[in-house]
Structure 1
Amino acid sequence: MAGVVVGWPVGGVPVLVATALKIDWTKMPTYNTIMAVAAGVGLLLVVGLGRTLLHGKVPDHLEGWALAFGVLGLILTLTGLHMTLTWPLAGQGFPFDNIVFGEPSLAFGVLMLAAALYLWHKGVLLAAALDRTGLVARTAGPVSLFVFGMGLACFGIAAAGWTYTLFAAPVQEPISGAFADLPLLEATFISGLYVLVGLGAVLFPFVLRAGGGRLATVVGVCWGLAGVAFTLFGALNYFTHIGLIVNTM
């Protein structure tokens, strides 16, 4: 990367010369675009399935739900695992982004794969159960502790984002770069999304114990809003990230 260099003109007086930002993209493979879209759509699917079950209905075509969960879970697991184990975003000075994006994606991806496996093999039992919410609560109860723990982790990520303004875009990035001189703005936006996801995750075990109610509505709103925002923001990043690459090659 380059930003400002010191020049030495005739007379020996140093001057600052602004240079264009350059990134060696071969050392920083970036794919949090598809991760954001997959995570956002995954959250929306979880909300949709949960709402259907809480209304006492049998989801249509459970195999289709299983396939959708499986597709998104595979994307998040593979990309999250690679980012978690290899830290590709550390090559040009962004090692913290591997934790911010990689580990939550890995966790969510594995959870979605587990849900896909359950719906594919046990969907008939779920459809035939007289107490579907009770069956889901008993089945998801043990893993809800991990969901709770990752909710706390999301709060930690949000706090780090606000404290260190981690998510500010460089001026070379289209759209987002227009707010480069307001780093707290994008930090607040992204951290706010992690707060929404974290709040829903922390409340999830209690929703299972209560069998629904107002807490389920709160979780649905949190994950629904975060899902829409992550999906749209990830789709927008397909333009902004490509523009950043073109502008910094």
Structure 2
Amino acid sequence: MTLLALTLAAPGLKIDWTGLTLYNTIISLSAGAGLLLVVALGRQLLASGRTVTPDGWALAFGAIGLVLLITGLHMSLAWPLVGGGFPQNNIIFGEPAVIFGVVLLAASLYLWKRGAGINASDRIVHTVRVTAPISVLVFGVGLACLGIAAAGWKYTIFAAPAEEPIAGLFAEWPVVETSFVSGAYLLVGIGAILFPFALRRPSGRTVQVVGVAWGLAGLAYFLFGALAYFTHIGLIMNTK
């Protein structure tokens, strides 16, 4: 995935990298790890008799949340952070990173200070009551993710130039990479929209749908973010 949703995919493309700041490598990797950990914690909470170690989860959520908040906040406030006529990337990547980062940091603080409650006999009921208020924001983020996914397909804004390794192989078919990235946002959106309803019946099928949607999206972001460390370095070397 590249922030440079360029139609300038002709051979010999040159980019002035002094006017471009890219965070989607670390944002994608961190967001993917965060989604996977949220799903993993949910599975542990639903497993009868499974003891959860809150300190470990607090550390993990805190570390990931801090990375997402710092990079996402800079991307959201420095308008446009990405020069060259691509200010939409501040919205697409920066703002969701801020929200997810803040939610993870809030969860980290709660688990650090009040985490003992998640091992109580009524931990499912307790967790639902604690999580219910934030589900309103999660639902709103889900709607936003659907909007990002729709914009991605309409404007093919996730297409990579031919100079980018691997992803550039599909430069002639911009819908390929666009569908991959928009599809990941769609999965996050579906899970987020269903999240408040899943809290009403923690043992129901809706919880499973949320887990599958966020698990698949998290895996996609995690692997794609890791791959982007190679593809973006290659893009820089091929266009500087």
Provide the TM-score with structure 2 as the length reference.
Answer: 0.93
- Rounded to whole Å, the distance in 1 between the matches of 2:43 and 2:113 is 21
The match for 1:51 among 43, 49, 53 is: 43
- Rounded to whole Å, the distance in 1 between the matches of 2:31 and 2:199 is 22
Contact 1:81 1:103 in 2 (8 A): yes
Q: Deviations over 1:95-127 (max 9, x none)?
A: 111111111111111000010001000111222
Asked if 1:111 corresponds to 2:95, the answer is no
Asked if 1:183 corresponds to 2:174, the answer is yes
Q: What corresponds to 2:207 in structure 1?
A: 216
1:142 partner SS: coil
Contact 1:27 1:88 in 2 (8 A): no
Q: How many residues align?
A: 235
Amino acid at match of 1:235: A
Deviation at 1:58, TM superposition (A): 4.3
Deviation at 1:2, TM superposition (A): 11
Q: Deviations over 1:72-105 (max 9, x none)?
A: 0000011111101113543122111111111111
Unaligned 5+ runs, structure 1: 5-17
Deviation at 1:131, TM superposition (A): 1.2
The match for 1:64 among 30, 33, 56 is: 56
Q: What corresponds to 1:77 in structure 2?
A: 69
- Change in 2 beyond 3 A, CA 1:137/1:20: same
Contact 1:151 1:201 in 2 (8 A): yes
- Rounded to whole Å, the distance in 1 between the matches of 2:45 and 2:7 is 54
Provide the TM-score with structure 1 as the length reference.
Answer: 0.90
1:20 partner SS: coil
Q: What corresponds to 1:140 in structure 2?
A: 131
Q: What corresponds to 2:15 in structure 1?
A: 23
- Change in 2 beyond 3 A, CA 1:3/1:118: closer
2:208 partner SS: helix
Contact 1:53 1:132 in 2 (8 A): yes
- Percent identical among aligned pairs is 60
Amino acid at match of 2:231: T
- Change in 2 beyond 3 A, CA 1:3/1:61: closer
Higher relative contact order (Cα pairs below 8 Å, separated by 6+ residues): 2
Amino acid at match of 1:214: R
- Rounded to whole Å, the distance in 1 between the matches of 2:172 and 2:22 is 23
Contact 2:65 2:105 in 1 (8 A): yes
Deviation at 1:26, TM superposition (A): 1.6
Deviation at 1:211, TM superposition (A): 2.1
Q: Deviations over 1:175-230 (max 9, x none)?
A: 00010010111111100000100000000111111123100100110011111111
Q: What corresponds to 1:201 in structure 2?
A: 192
- Rounded to whole Å, the distance in 2 between the matches of 1:2 and 1:188 is 16
Which of the pair has more CA radius of gyration? 1
The match for 1:123 among 115, 123, 130 is: 115
Q: Which runs of 4+ in 1 moved over 4 A?
A: 1-4
Superposed CA RMSD in Å reads 1.7
- Rounded to whole Å, the distance in 1 between the matches of 2:155 and 2:7 is 21
Amino acid at match of 2:14: K
Asked if 1:152 corresponds to 2:143, the answer is yes
Unaligned 5+ runs, structure 2: 1-5
- Change in 2 beyond 3 A, CA 1:171/1:188: same
Q: What corresponds to 1:229 in structure 2?
A: 220
Contact 1:148 1:205 in 2 (8 A): yes
